[in-house]
Amino acid sequence: MFTQTSRPAAQEPVRNADGESLAFDGVDLEQLAQRIPTPFHAYSASAIRQRIGSLQAALSGLDATICFAVKANPNLAILQLMANAGVGADIVSVGEMRRSLHAGMPPERIVFSGVGKSADEIAGALTVGIHRFNVESHDELLTLQHLAEAQGVTARAAVRINPDVDAHTHAKISTGKSENKFGVSIDEARRWFAERRRLSHVQLDGLHVHIGSQILTLEPFRLALQRVAEFWRELEQDGHPITSIDVGGGLGVCYRAGVDQPVAAADYVNVIREALADYRGKLLLEPGRYLVAEAGVLLTRVIRVKPGIERQFLVLDAAMNDLQRPSLYDAWHDIVPVSNASRPLTTYDIVGPVCETGDTFARGRELPECAAGDLLLIKATGAYGTSMASTYNSRPLAAEVLLNQGRYALVRRRQHFEEMIAGEQPARHWETA
Ligand code: LLP
């Protein structure tokens, strides 16, 4: 059994033997930050491999392919690591498709999700010959048929079901309720299958469901899969063979030690096994966060401690442009000092330099007293960290480093100023439209 509690050390930063500093995947973080200026993101390759391994082990005996949700972390080095481990890609844009191919992901392991695939994107994915389209509207289905016919190819497609299930997660990352923009109702999907023979260039033989993200209990998965399984049985009886069921992503992780209790991969897969016990086709899974979130940390230094009127502020060199989750979803991320020096606890509002109050990583957080220059770790930033980063306040995109058993490799250098302004120009040439 793979439970969250039985983790080897590589999966999180641990104290060095001298107790002075923290090491992650065998790399001393204080020394690393001497070489790479903060802020920067560091990912543990061992931790990612371990997550892939535990999910693959849980899936053993099933005809299942893991398609990593690229949006969680699209760095080429991460995608290459996924590709080498036999993992495919769940993409939502041609940009993500190009990254995946560039990283060596075979097209037959790429699935394309999303409500707003443009005609150009669909045509591009058809040309490449990706594995499958997860179709989210009738208009998209007809566009797929039209473009596949024009290219003289047959597209494999799954209908994304909106099962109207509450994932009990943050409203902004819930996707499986009928009020959400994602997928179609089972009633509508039934009509698509009834007409499927009219689709000369689309092989509609798959079901897809994704109900939301950072889900910490099994019940929503169980409910959604029960609805999908019921519909699959009905379709089979009506003469519509289903060869692929994509169960989406959404498996939650621990952002707050001692509070968040994620479900174990094996327990999650058991829910899939139970709901689809008599299903013999192919399974697809689209985890993002589960594979990379806890494998990443954001290293940042204290610029200054600012005693405010009501609160004491710890001003970091990382900001909301490097990690949006706290500003956007009021998300909690554990924050710890890298040094272990014994100091009295103090309560801080931990903020970045960006000029808005939303640029706050934590309010009223207790930390050992800090001083300018101290190195801190913001934890579990490997998913939806850099992928949602921006250059707001004209701050360059941060560097990214991959750690692996005592060594490190820079996998994205910090953006240069010239790259940030590339493509911009003074309005010299005025034209009429
Ligand atoms: N499949 C589809 C169709 C998705 O839309 C998503 C995530 C996933 C798979 C992967 O979900 P995961 O396993 O990572 O939960 N920015 C937000 C998360 C947005 C998730 C969007 N869709 C955050 O930082 O919490």
Mean pLDDT by 10 residues, the chain (433 residues): 40 80 95 98 98 98 98 98 98 98 98 97 98 97 98 98 90 85 96 97 98 96 97 98 98 98 98 97 98 98 94 97 98 95 94 97 97 98 98 98 98 98 95 94
Spatial separation of the C-alpha atoms in residues 301 and 375, rounded to whole Å: 4
Under DSSP, is residue 232 helix (H, G, I), strand (E, B) or coil? helix
Ligand 1 proximity of 69 Cβ (cutoff 6 Å)? yes
Ligand 1 proximity of 206 Cβ (cutoff 6 Å)? no
Q: How many helices (H) and strands (E) does the chain have?
A: 12, 20
Ligand 1 proximity of 212 Cβ (cutoff 6 Å)? no
Spatial separation of the C-alpha atoms in residues 200 and 72, rounded to whole Å: 35
Spatial separation of the C-alpha atoms in residues 57 and 64, rounded to whole Å: 11
Spatial separation of the C-alpha atoms in residues 314 and 235, rounded to whole Å: 58
Spatial separation of the C-alpha atoms in residues 325 and 336, rounded to whole Å: 17
CB 377 within 8 A of CB 317: no
Spatial separation of the C-alpha atoms in residues 212 and 210, rounded to whole Å: 6
- Token pair recorded at residue 32: 């690393």
Please give the sequence-ordered ranges of beta strands (E in DSSP) within 178-309, or none if there are none. Answer: 202-208, 244-246, 282-285, 296-307
Spatial separation of the C-alpha atoms in residues 386 and 366, rounded to whole Å: 26
Domain ranges of the chain: 14-43+294-420, 113-287
Q: What is the pLDDT of residue 258?
A: 97
Ligand 1 proximity of 287 Cβ (cutoff 6 Å)? yes
Q: What is the pLDDT of residue 4?
A: 37
Tell me which architecture the domain covering 14-43+294-420 has in CATH. Beta Barrel (2.40)
CA distances from 396 to 368, 393, 416 (A): 29, 9, 7
Q: Which amino acid, 284?
A: L
Atom of ligand 1 nearest to the CA of 387: 16
Q: Do domains 14-43+294-420 and 113-287 have the same CATH topology?
A: no
Spatial separation of the C-alpha atoms in residues 64 and 283, rounded to whole Å: 4
Spatial separation of the C-alpha atoms in residues 349 and 363, rounded to whole Å: 4
First to last CA, the chain: 63
Q: What is the pLDDT of residue 17?
A: 73
Q: How far is the CA of 32 from the centre of ligand 1 (A)?
A: 30
What topology is assigned to 113-287 in CATH?
TIM Barrel (3.20.20)
CA distances from 425 to 321, 428, 429 (A): 23, 8, 10
* Catalytic residue (choose from 67, 254, 355, 370): 355
Name which residue sits closest to atom 9 of ligand 1, judged by CA: 249
Q: How far is the CA of 100 from the centre of ligand 1 (A)?
A: 17
Q: What is the pLDDT of residue 7?
A: 43
Q: What is the pLDDT of residue 91?
A: 98
Longest dimension (CA), the chain: 72
Q: How far is the CA of 327 from the centre of ligand 1 (A)?
A: 17
CA distances from 347 to 17, 257, 315 (A): 28, 18, 13
Spatial separation of the C-alpha atoms in residues 293 and 72, rounded to whole Å: 8
Q: What is the pLDDT of residue 10?
A: 54
Residues 235, 139, 220, 213, CA torsion sign: positive
CB 246 within 8 A of CB 207: yes
pTM: 0.96
Ligand 1 proximity of 245 Cβ (cutoff 6 Å)? no
Strands of the sheet with 27-28, listed across from one edge? 14-15, 22-24, 27-28
Nearest to 97 by CA among 87, 114, 109, 110: 110
Under DSSP, is residue 331 helix (H, G, I), strand (E, B) or coil? coil
Phi, psi of 403 (to 5 degrees): -105, 145
β-strand 360-368 against 345-351: which pairing, if any?
antiparallel
Cis peptide before 368 (omega within 30 of 0): no
Looking at every residue in the chain, the average pLDDT score rounds to 95
Query: Is 67 part of the annotated catalytic residue set?
Result: no
If you count them, how many residues does the chain have? Answer: 433
CA angle 265, 67, 219 (to 5 degrees): 40
Q: What is the pLDDT of residue 178?
A: 86
Q: What is the pLDDT of residue 2?
A: 32
- Name the binding residues for substrate: 289, 325, 329, 356, 384
